[in-house]
Chain A
């Protein structure tokens, strides 16, 4: 596609429910990232996929968070048993994956998650 697409753009859920956030990266981009942006905070790294390599999950805040990337394209971030502190904007980014040169990230518009 023309850019990184994320859905839904807004999600309101009740505490304790599970949510799934979707990211559709730019076609041909081998690298995909998830970041979280909380109010008044910077962007917090969550997870990184690069080709067929094992994902870098070092930023996931708890075992309630997981992500997968199917077929090297679409990615889903799942949050189980949501808590109010999970409320944030979840941003997805993709890149060509040329890590040696510090590649440019293309960001989606994000999913605003609100946990009531």
Chain B
């Protein structure tokens, strides 16, 4: 069975600083990987996804993530954080072709942005 670990429960960065949120997954085959964001009072929104091909994936709001098979990681990055990026971020892994949409989520990382 697949699993996801987000080792950082809470991260604080200053506005304008760079950001990296860590995600490690466990899955026996090529995974489908996702990052979702949950802003206060909002539903979860897809930031980006990786299925195959280029291991550096671009998403919305200036986010990107890099799939590293050797490290079983899919870390989320942003070069310059905005105050509006304060939210909870969830990494998720989808099972193989037949059940790709049955996502397993990590416990989330709460991002706080200081001005």
Contact = CB atoms under 8 A, between A and B. Distances in A.
B97 A104 contact: no
Interface centre among B42, B43, B94, B104 (most CB of A within 10 A): B43
A99 B41 contact: no
Contacts, number: 64
B43 A107 contact: yes
Interface residues of B, number: 26
Contacts of B44: 43, 91, 93, 105, 107
Interface in A76-116: 91, 93, 95, 99-110
Nearest to A109: B43
Contact of A31 (B94, B98, B101, B104): B101
Interface stretch (B11-19, B69-77, B105-113): B105-113
Contacts of B98: 99
Nearest to A31: B101
Interface of A: 3-4, 31, 33, 35, 40-45, 48, 56, 91, 93, 95, 99-110
